[in-house]
Amino acid sequence: MKTLIKNGTVVNSTGTALADVLIDGETIAAVLSPGSRLLGFDVESNVDTVIDARGKYVIPGGIDAHTHMEMPFGGTQASDTFETGTRAAAWGGTTSIVDFVVQYAGENVIDQYQKWHEKAAGQCAIDYGFHQILSDVQDSSLTAMDELVAEGVSSFKLFMAYKGVFLSDDGQIVKAMQRAATNGSIIMMHAENGSVIDLLVQQAVAAGNTSPLYHGLTRPWQAEEEATHRAIMLANLTGAPLYIVHVSAKQAVDQIAQARDTGQNVFGETCPQYLYLSLEDNLGAPGFEGAKWVCSTPLRAKAEGHQHHMWQSLRTNDIQMVSTDHCPFCMKGQKDMGLADFSKIPNGIGSVEHRMDLLYQGVVDGKISLERWVEVCSTTPARMFGMYGRKGVIQPGADGDVVVYDPNGHTSIGMPETGRAKTHHMNMDYSAWEGYEIDGHVDTVLSRGKVVIDQNAYLGAKGDGRFIKRGLSQYLI
Ligand code: URP
Ligand code: ZN
Ligand code: ZN
Ligand code: ZN
């Protein structure tokens, strides 16, 4: 099966050019400049499918390196399965995810890793990799880290919050970091001071402050800055590369920037919610509405200027990439567990379908360049997590993961109860992005050479997606 995507504007992180892209089987075979036609190469008559991308961008498929499909969490389970979540991702121009294997205290890491393979195998619409969560860091967890690196799982997430659920103490963190420093893997950190947050939550609830807004007010930026700083110091001590997940506070960005200025391998990821949504407008919505946007780190106060700083840090590379932290819960039966107490609201927002669009809107709004869009959504995730070459770039030899994006198209995000057609495919009974209008449209999505989205039709199937055996990070200084 050969496919030619012709007349499009190919956008890589390194530049933009008019070119035709030839995909042979699962792999990009050639990127042909218009001049090659003048030289007499007749590619078109030798292919099975031709996609005309005139006036459209041809970009490497999105890579969402932070998702939680069907994760057991907060007394329930994330509402998207590997099947529904990866299909929704494909709809939004994302052709790879990296999800998290969960290890709760007392569980065996390798057992959990195998369980996650069983959950995902044969279910996914697009390719998927795994990071491994470590909570308690047992001796067996350390040997498991080496085994997992050999399996293609070269990144480990630790938590400085969620005591009794995920939290690792500083000693455990250092142990895992020491191991990462020797086996070449990267430590991902949920950087919030959990003890301080637990105290503030207890005090708020005792005082009768139980609405969703207090989720944000009890997780202040100081708790994020402090934990980010501590994580950076522990990484410095051990020599482990460090990647801070879901950065929302500008003060945490500054910690990362400072560390990078000293040459330390420290990186930061932010998420669309921290670029667009806020404590005032969303968490503070009337009644229980704010529950829709309860996630950690929390949405921050607009008045404090985090959002502006976050867009800027995407431009300056103080923050390197954007993932969603896709962790969806329905309002009915899940978020509403916290009706009487915000601390019982399961933490998470669903955005896996909208990341490419929401960040493209940043291009339209003049906040990032076209090439930077591709870089933060695809190329850097590939390099950061050891997939570059196969993923994250349009070049011969790369997987045929390609999106045709129409800058003259339009995407409305919404749900039926508000009078709109349901315009998302995630398994959620609401949209965290209700009412967002995007000046662009995902037209065609190819996953390893197969067209999975064609305009408004899904042509893929569950089980199309394969496990990505990742190498070590290709982003280290
Ligand atoms: O609220 C969030 N972020 N839920 C998912 C778990 C995590 O900490 O990433
Ligand atoms: Zn986290
Ligand atoms: Zn997460
Ligand atoms: Zn379109």
- pLDDT tens for residues 25-77? 999 999 998 877 666 677 888 899 999 999 999 999 999 999 999 999 999 99
Residue 112: pLDDT band by 50, 70, 90 thresholds? Answer: very high
Q: Which atom of ligand 1 is nearest to the CA of 161?
A: 8
Is the CB of residue 135 below 6 angstroms from any atom belonging to ligand 1? no
CA of 11 to the centre of ligand 1 (A): 31
Domain assignment of residue 438, yes or no: no
* Domain ranges, residue 234: 61-384
Residue nearest to atom 7 of ligand 1 (CA): 296
CA of 203 to the centre of ligand 2 (A): 23
Is the CB of residue 347 below 6 angstroms from any atom belonging to ligand 1? yes
Q: Would you say the C-alpha torsion 245, 192, 289, 75 has a positive or negative sign?
A: positive
- Given a cut of 60, whether residue 445 has pLDDT beyond it is yes
Residue 418 is predicted with a pLDDT of 59
Task: Looking at 22-169, list the stretches that DSSP marks H as alpha helix, in order from N- to C-terminal side.
Answer: 35-38, 82-91, 109-120, 139-151
Residue 414 is predicted with a pLDDT of 79
CA of 441 to the centre of ligand 4 (A): 5
Is the CB of residue 327 below 6 angstroms from any atom belonging to ligand 1? yes
Residue 353: pLDDT band by 50, 70, 90 thresholds? Answer: very high
Domain assignment of residue 315, yes or no: yes
d(CA 458, CA 425): 11
Residue 477 is predicted with a pLDDT of 83
- Nearest Cα to Cα of residue 166 among 327, 4, 29: 327
Residue range 233-262: average pLDDT?
98
Domain assignment of residue 428, yes or no: no
Residue 185: pLDDT band by 50, 70, 90 thresholds? Answer: very high
Residue range 82-99: average pLDDT?
98
Domain assignment of residue 247, yes or no: yes
Is the CB of residue 323 below 6 angstroms from any atom belonging to ligand 1? no
ipTM of this complex prediction, to 2 decimal places: 0.95
Domain assignment of residue 300, yes or no: yes
Torsion of CA 154, 256, 177, 131, to 10 degrees: -30
- Given a cut of 70, whether residue 269 has pLDDT beyond it is yes
Residue 304 is predicted with a pLDDT of 98
Task: Looking at 4-108, list the stretches that DSSP marks H as alpha helix, in order from N- to C-terminal side.
Answer: 35-38, 82-91
Residue 423 is predicted with a pLDDT of 78
What pTM was computed for the model?
A: 0.98
Q: Any bridge partners for residue 447, and if so which?
A: 450
User: Which CATH number goes with the domain that contains 92?
Assistant: 3.20.20.140
Residue range 74-84: average pLDDT?
97
Residue nearest to atom 9 of ligand 1 (CA): 325
Residue 271 is predicted with a pLDDT of 99
20-34, 211-225, 308-322, 418-432, range with the lowest pLDDT: 418-432
Residue 43 is predicted with a pLDDT of 86
Residue nearest to atom 8 of ligand 1 (CA): 296
Residue 42 is predicted with a pLDDT of 79
Domain assignment of residue 241, yes or no: yes
d(CA 87, CA 97): 11
Residue 354 is predicted with a pLDDT of 98
- Given a cut of 90, whether residue 176 has pLDDT beyond it is yes
Classify 19 as helix, strand or coil.
strand
Residue 38 is predicted with a pLDDT of 63
Residue nearest to atom 2 of ligand 1 (CA): 348
Residue 415 is predicted with a pLDDT of 65
Is the CB of residue 269 below 6 angstroms from any atom belonging to ligand 1? no
Q: Which atom of ligand 1 is nearest to the CA of 245?
A: 9
- Given a cut of 80, whether residue 419 has pLDDT beyond it is no
Whole-number Cα distances in Å, 80 to 11, 123, 349, 401: 31, 12, 11, 23
Write out the two tokens for 46. 């030798």
What lies within 8 Å, CB to CB, of 446 at 6+ separation is 3, 23, 61, 95, 400, 401, 402, 403, 452
Domain assignment of residue 210, yes or no: yes
What lies within 8 Å, CB to CB, of 328 at 6+ separation is 78, 79, 80, 85, 348, 349, 350, 426, 427, 428
Query: Residue 224 CA: which ligand is closest?
Result: 2
Number of independent structural domains in the chain: 1
Residue 2 is predicted with a pLDDT of 96
Domain assignment of residue 43, yes or no: no
CA of 191 to the centre of ligand 2 (A): 8
Residue range 171-176: average pLDDT?
98
CA of 443 to the centre of ligand 2 (A): 32
Q: Which atom of ligand 1 is nearest to the CA of 166?
A: 8
Q: Any bridge partners for residue 322, and if so which?
A: 270
Tell me the pLDDT of the chain averaged across its residues: 96
